[in-house]
Amino acid sequence: MKENVASATVFTLLLFLNTCLLNGQLPPGKPEIFKCRSPNKETFTCWWKPGTDGGLPTNYSLTYHREGETLMHECPDYITGGPNSCHFGKQYTSMWRTYIMMVNATNQMGSSFSDELYVDVTYIVQPDPPLELAVEVKQPEDRKPYLWIKWSPPTLIDLKTGWFTLLYEIRLKPEKAAEWEIHFAGQQTEFKILSLHPGQKYLVQVRCKPDHGYWSAWSPATFIQIPSDFTMNDTTVWISVAVLSAVICLIIVWAVALKGYSMVTCIFPPVPGPKIKGFDAHLLEKGKSEELLSALGCQDFPPTSDYEDLLVEYLEVDDSEDQHLMSVHSKEHPSQEREQRPAQEARDS
């Protein structure tokens, strides 16, 4: 009797499975967790892609545990993040802790599980786009016109405590252009752009990125029309150059006058004369040779009178040599000697 009951049960199950297979009913396909994101390091959300439902209603649940723990927890919020998501509020979010999670898909035909995903909230931060993007053309009188861009950080991020640091990036292009021009703005929330094409309509967007994490999505585009006269007036340029040149010239003249030197003196300074230690230059000007020689240390130098006698003797010897030369010359030219003798006697007398 029992064998008949067991055979009937197996037959019923096989018939049921055959009916399900003929109707296309199968266990659910394997789901996949494809993204986790935190906008501010305080909360985060994970999303998954469901597999095939097997032709039957399928229920999904996310379970997780923290590294170092064995107790499993179920997702605290399936609504805030939208369909096929799990949201972790502040009370469920821990920094510097790794979450290990998986998704379970179940229908009448069975269950399937996703692969385990390891999540560290510190490295999944992706902020919201910046807000209140404002664009304006500035045309100051004394400077070149520029495009002024200003924005505000996302509201969910508190930058005052220093817990969060945001970097910004701007992109813009003419309305009909294909390529974007990108500018890195750092941590500032204002930016100036000078090189623009007059008469063009520009699209401007901004995004932000934390110190650890990913770039946000681009903010909604803001349009700005650049005026056709978006250039600096040439007259203003020449006036600025003239004023600057005049100021430089005045500074140079004032510096030279203050020093009391001429331009030649500044360029070619005078060369100092030689100096002898212990020598009085006034002695040379007065012509006192004895005092001059004494100052130079020439103690045994002959006096001036003896020097004049020697000079006379030298002149006499020199005259004798001249007379000797003249006598030799007269022998060779007696006619010229007779002509020069009266002149010589006149000089001797």
Domain ranges across the chain = 40-123, 131-226
What is the CB neighbour count within 10 angstroms for residue 27?
19
User: Alpha-carbon distance 171 to 183, whole Å?
Assistant: 6
Provide the 8-state DSSP code for 79: S
Burial state string for 284-294 with b = 16 or more CB within 10 A and e = fewer than 16: eeeeeeeeebe
Low-confidence ranges of the chain (pLDDT < 50): 1-2, 5, 10-11, 14-16, 18-22, 232-234, 301, 304-319, 321, 324-325, 328-329, 349
User: Alpha-carbon distance 246 to 231, whole Å?
Assistant: 25
Q: What is the pTM of this model?
A: 0.55
pLDDT at residue 33 in the model: 94
What tokens does 196 get? Answer: 């623009």
Helix orientation angle between 334-348 and 304-332, rounded to the nearest 10 degrees: 150
**Which distant-in-sequence residues (6+ apart) come within 8 Å of 93 by Cβ?**
38, 42, 43, 44, 121
What tokens does 244 get? Answer: 């600057």
What is the CB neighbour count within 10 angstroms for residue 251?
10
Q: Which DSSP helix (H) or strand (E) runs through 209?
A: strand 201-210
CATH topology of domain 40-123: Immunoglobulin-like (2.60.40)
Identical topology for domains 40-123 and 131-226: yes
pLDDT at residue 307 in the model: 46
User: Alpha-carbon distance 219 to 45, whole Å?
Assistant: 21
SS3 5: helix
The CATH class for the domain spanning 131-226 reads mainly beta
User: Alpha-carbon distance 67 to 119, whole Å?
Assistant: 10
**Helices marked H in 87-233:** none
